Each structure stands twice: as structure tokens, then as C-alpha cells.
Amino acid sequence: MSRVPALIRDARRAAGLTQVTLARRLGTSQSAIARLERSGSNPTVGTVERVLGAAGRRLELSTAPPPSSIDETLVAGMLRMTPEERLQSFEGSYRSARAMALAGARARGELA
């Protein structure tokens, strides 16, 4: 809901309204509108709906699943591989990770 103040301000401006005019339409004060447009304001959904309605807009809410936290193209690529190819890929990754760990140990002076 951190975008709500900007949403309210943008709707008011798009309607060509001042804070005073919008406040009159809502039966409130200009300072109340300023508070709604201020970063950190946390109006209820009902308040946002009323304010947007007074600015000639309507509030639409929707949901969507969050973006995946993994690269699904990599998973799909691995699933296209045969079990033997997956094992070879894993072994190659292990060798690379092991070499990197050894290089780090050498750089820290842990190995001669």
C-alpha cells in the first residue's frame, strides 16, 4: 500500500482538481487530503475508494501469484536432460565449486 499516496495524488491531478476542490467534494478539509497524499499515509480501502470516486476514478483490486524465486528456465533445461547428463552437469559444477573453494583457501594462506 506504499503507492497509495501517489495513486490518490495522480488521480486528483488527472481530474484537474486541487486538494481544496477534492476536499469539498468529500466534505473534508484540504489538510486531510494533504495527509492522504503524504508518504506513509495508510488509509483504509474504503477511504481510498471514496477519494478515487470523487476524482472520477474507481478502485480495482486484483491478486496475482508472486514471481518465482528461482529461474524456471534453468529447471526446465535440467528436466530436458537425461539422468546421465544431469549427473555429468552436477559433477562439473562440483569440480568448479571445489576449485573455487581451494583458490579461496590459498588466497587466505590456509594452503601452501
Q: What pLDDT, in 10s, does the model give residues 7-38?
A: 999 999 999 999 999 999 999 999 999 999 99
- How does residue 2 score in pLDDT terms, banded at 50, 70 and 90? low
Query: 4 near 43, Cβ under 8 Å?
Result: yes
The predicted pLDDT at position 68 comes to 87
Q: Mean per-residue pLDDT for 67-95?
A: 93
Q: Which residues of 57-84 are buried (b: 16+ CB within 10 A; e: fewer)?
A: beeeeeeeeeeeeeeeeeeeeeeeeeee
Q: Mean per-residue pLDDT for 92-99?
A: 97
Whether the model clears a pTM of 0.85, i.e. scores above it, the answer is no
The predicted pLDDT at position 111 comes to 83
Distance (Å, whole) CA 74 – CA 72: 5
Query: 12 near 23, Cβ under 8 Å?
Result: no
For residue 102, the surrounding DSSP H or E stretch is helix 83-107
For all residues of the chain together, what is the average pLDDT? 94
